[in-house]
Amino acid sequence: MLAVALTSRHAWYLTDTGSVYVQMEQGKEGMGILFRAECAFRLTSLAASDHAVWALREVETNGRLGGGLVVRVGLKHCAMGTDWVEETTEG
């Protein structure tokens, strides 16, 4: 396990193989629902709040490793979100 990010209702997990899982409805009976949040990026860290989930992705530029920010979108529509989108800055 590389990272665990907790919200008031869910737990997000980043495994050492790069898989991301969300365990939803932690406070309900039992263990909740476990969902794998597919991601095309190689993630290195993970953070979450009740309204957003962010991650750093591994980026190689000119032979040097760096990072880029990705965000889980669609959380307003469903607890597990719908996709990962890379954040970019203008200018």
Domain boundaries, the chain: 3-86
**Cα gap 85→70, rounded to integer Å:** 5
Average pLDDT, consecutive stretches of 10 residues, N- to C-terminus, the chain (91 residues): 93 94 78 89 93 89 78 94 86 49
Residue whose C-alpha is closest to residue 70's, from 56, 50, 49 = 56
What pLDDT score does 65 carry? Answer: 67
The per-residue pLDDT of the chain, averaged, comes to 88
Query: Environment class of residue 29 by beta-carbon count within 10 Å: exposed (0-12), middle (13-18) or buried (19+)?
Result: exposed
pTM value is: 0.84
